Amino acid sequence: MDTLGIEQMLSALRTTAAQASGKAAESKPTAGGADFAQILQGSIDKVNQTQQQSDEMAQKLAAGDTTQNLHEVMIALQTASVSFQEMVQVRNKIVSAYQDVMNMQV
């Protein structure tokens, strides 16, 4: 059984938990390349940016801005909704994987 992947996942989860609780944690680069926490944070930031842009477009359309096209606003709103739903599903999978790892008997 390859425990390197599990150790990397646990390290990333501990780092994320420490950051969420406000504690400074040592950030060690993983042997596999990119840091899991950085990738996850980047994805969350991208979803947030998509939602903010779609909200801004909708507000401009509601305010009567003639440069906003209804079709583009609706597409932006749907894109933001789908990306948020995707992020929630990824979070659910991460939580499920964490629970599976924690329930493993060593």
**pLDDT band per the 50, 70, 90 thresholds, residue 67:** confident
State pLDDT tens for residues 12-61.
Answer: 777 777 766 665 545 555 455 678 888 888 889 999 999 999 999 999 99
State pLDDT tens for residues 1-13.
Answer: 445 566 666 777 7
C-alpha span between 29 and 15 (Å, rounded): 11
C-alpha span between 75 and 80 (Å, rounded): 9
Q: Where are the domains of the chain?
A: 35-106
